Amino acid sequence: MSTDKLQSRLFKRFHEACCRFALLEDGDKVLIGLSGGKDSLLLTELLGKQARIFRPRIEVAAIHIRVANRNYMSDLSYLQQFCGKAGVPFIVKDTAIVGEEKKDPCFLCSWYRRKALFDYALEQGYNKIAFGHHRDDILTTALLNLIYVGRFSSIEPSLRLDKMPLTLIRPLCMIDEHDIIAYSQSAGYEKQKALCPFEKHSDRHKMATLLEDLKTFNPDVRSSIEHALYRKGGK
């Protein structure tokens, strides 16, 4: 499939998700959490394209959070160039983990990044934060919660926070990861230099493998899980 056809397919799925879950409305100020990975790059490209369409009228910017004491390298010049091409303002903010060495390093890194992201969004008047979670992320989270927590739930496409005037949205929630991979390669997305010393195979990786194994019983198992998940949520 050509790059243009892939892009059209992805934007169609993006638009379907935005309509189905009412993710975007006139007057929204949307801040994208841009890690630099393929998912957040695609999210930036699609939201940048949406912002150039007359309805809904939205304002979009992308922010990259750096944790000073974590060995994670990002090519800021590439991210800035990418955002410029997508017509999306690019922001960089620094944070640091202080005095909590005994806690799980992955939790700390994620928590401090999110805190910096939320703080900036509130300071600058954004009402929505967009994350690049795709369909596979939602399905594997559902399996994680079912098997380890005993609850059938997952990442919400839209989640209004109780303690602050922010809504978290996932506009890629109906897009399969293999389509993102194909497009990122076809469009020439550059990979970031992720050198995290705590990278390892996780339970999420095991759930992704399980999801593939379940296809031997039912080739449409992904759609079945998704249908049950959203039916349970009333969507």
Q: Is residue 175 part of a domain?
A: yes
**Nearest by Cα to 134 from 204, 217, 214:** 204
Q: Is residue 221 part of a domain?
A: no
Q: Is residue 231 part of a domain?
A: no
Least confident of 62-76, 94-108, 150-164, 192-206: 192-206
Least confident of 50-59, 101-110, 226-235: 101-110
Beta pairing, strands 29-33 & 90-95: unpaired
Q: Is residue 209 part of a domain?
A: no
Residue 235 has, within 13 A of its CA and on its CB side, a CA count of 14
Q: Is residue 187 part of a domain?
A: yes
Q: Can you give the pTM of this predicted structure? A: 0.90
Residue 122 has, within 13 A of its CA and on its CB side, a CA count of 11
Q: DSSP class of residue 109?
A: H
The predicted structure's pLDDT at residue 72: 65
Instruction: Report the alpha-carbon distance of residue 178 to residue 149 in Å, rounded.
Output: 27
**Number of folded domains that form the chain:** 1
Asked whether residue 111 carries a pLDDT value surpassing 70, the answer given is yes
What are the two backbone dihedrals, phi and then psi, of residue 180, each rounded to the nearest 5 degrees?
Answer: -65, -40
Confidence of residue 109 (pLDDT cuts 50, 70, 90): confident
> 132-164 pLDDT, tens per residue?
999 999 999 999 999 999 999 999 999 999 999
Element housing 19 (H / E)? helix 3-20
Q: Are the CB atoms for 190 and 78 separated by under 8 Å?
A: yes
Asked whether residue 216 carries a pLDDT value surpassing 80, the answer given is yes
Confidence of residue 98 (pLDDT cuts 50, 70, 90): confident
Query: CB within 8 A of 61, min separation 6: which ones?
Result: 30, 31, 32, 88, 89, 90, 91, 126
Q: Which residue has the higher pLDDT, 208 or 105?
A: 208
Q: Is residue 79 part of a domain?
A: yes
Q: Are the CB atoms for 13 and 180 separated by under 8 Å?
A: no
Q: Is residue 218 part of a domain?
A: no
Asked whether residue 11 carries a pLDDT value surpassing 70, the answer given is yes
Asked whether residue 197 carries a pLDDT value surpassing 60, the answer given is no
Q: Exposure of 35 by Cβ count < 10 A (0-12 exposed, 13-18 middle, 19+ buried)?
A: buried
Asked whether residue 91 carries a pLDDT value surpassing 90, the answer given is yes
Q: Is residue 184 part of a domain?
A: yes
Q: What is the CATH number of the domain that holds 149?
A: 3.40.50.620
Tell me the residue range of the domain where 72 lies.
3-200
Confidence of residue 67 (pLDDT cuts 50, 70, 90): confident
DSSP string, 201-212: --HHHHHHHHHH
> 41-53 pLDDT, tens per residue?
999 999 999 999 9
Mean pLDDT, range 227-231, rounded to an integer: 87
